[in-house]
Chains A and B, each alone.
Chain A
């Protein structure tokens, strides 16, 4: 095991403000054999996973990032004197999940699925930077096209859009609900 490499990776991830991608690591380190890099990252990750550590190394939004472990949430809040973190409203979450699964999508398409006008929700989600405008659709009125952002991935702790709950998973849950009702 390359201990020096592990230490350098720890430093790079520690100092990064956003999830540090493997590409970026390569850019900094230059030539490092892929297996060695992956092994060092994994070793680092399992070091931190140990029970006597309060910090963990997570893979999110396509990169590596240090966060606190969930079980220590109350201590952080006590230090920062924060009662509770605010969650997204159900309307906003609904809009966001439609965008996540149907992107690229327009406001009218979102509203049609929800059955309610979603202009306001889109505005708040844009402000939170959980979604972004990526262009205009070549359709009457040239409506704006929305997509989820990098921050969206980070907010939900997803490494990429492929980590979203799969269609089959959703279908299974619906099936189970149906069974329990009848």
Chain B
């Protein structure tokens, strides 16, 4: 079964957070997540044509909601105010006396209308995706514990070069802090190092790259080992998996290789 979907939730804002009144009633209020949500709601409520918004009217309604504060997400107050400022700015632009009528593409309302139209599309897309989500949540898939430590997300979690680079800088910072007294001159070639890593993997199955990196004798050798990892990922010899950003990278040999550990059970 699909465990992950279990956890798919966003703790940020409780949707229509329940509030309790004195007599124990549970009331669900609709909360407007963002200013565009509220604007679209007002436009619909008043049956206003989106291309011809009476700015003064809508601004008044909008500010009313803002003052009541019970139906907007207060964490987002600044963003609600920003749109209020935009509404007032648009109104002021429209009030300016002009010698000539503005062509329609210079309508001061255009900036707002374009955003609303785009946001409207997003809202519809959301509804459609929500339907699909609900459908999918009813379809369970089998999951089982694979042989090696949790690579159930193997294909999904393969780190790309970007993630590798992030980790690299983290590692470099750690190495930098180390104080080297002894200067060794040891030449490490990428080929040798690559062989070493592959041999290690064949013996151990997997590798904690952060640990391996830290064990390197010199900064140069550590650097070379990182380049090797990049190379091995590139030529599909190994899979590198990072569970979360800035965490360690675990490295496995590719499944398609002969020395693969395979589905040894279940």
Contact = CB atoms under 8 A, between A and B. Distances in A.
Contact of A92 (B7, B10, B122): B10
Contacts of B5: 85-86, 155
B183 interface: no
Given A89-B10, A121-B12, A129-B156, A114 B36 contact: yes
A151 B156 contact: yes
Interface stretch (B59-67, B138-146, B184-192): B138-146
- Looking at A80, A90, A171, which has the most chain B CB atoms within 10 Å of its CB? A90
B135 interface: yes
B245 interface: yes
B239 to A, nearest CB: 13
A91 B156 contact: no
B146 to A, nearest CB: 7
Given A70-B138, A87-B134, A134-B160, A114 B119 contact: yes
B136 interface: yes
Interface string A76-117: 100010100111111111101110110000000000011111
A174 interface: yes
B79 A165 contact: no
Given A70-B135, A90-B126, A114 B162 contact: no
Contacts of A86: 5-9
Contacts of A124: 10-12
Contacts of A174: 120-121, 124
A117 B76 CA distance: 8
A17 B152 contact: yes
A130 B153 CA distance: 12
Interface string B1-19: 1001111111111010000
A115 B36 contact: yes
Contacts of A15: 263
Contacts of A165: 124-125, 128-129
Interface stretch (A29-37, A42-50, A60-68): A60-68
Contacts of A169: 128
Contact of A120 (B6, B12, B123): B12
Q: Is the interface of B mostly helix, strand, loop or mixed?
A: helix
Nearest to A94: B126
A97 B8 contact: no
Contacts of A76: 1, 140
B155 A157 contact: no
B18 to A, nearest CB: 15
B42 interface: no
A91 B126 CA distance: 10
Nearest to A181: B47
Nearest to A173: B124
B15 A90 contact: yes
A58 to B, nearest CB: 7
B132 interface: yes
B125 to A, nearest CB: 4
B156 A150 contact: yes
A62 to B, nearest CB: 10
12 contacts: A17-B144, A17-B154, A18-B155, A27-B256, A73-B137, A86-B9, A93-B126, A98-B122, A151-B156, A156-B132, A170-B124, A174-B124
Interface of B: 1, 4-13, 15, 33-36, 44, 47, 76, 79, 82-83, 115, 118-130, 132-144, 146, 152-157, 160, 162-163, 244-245, 256, 263
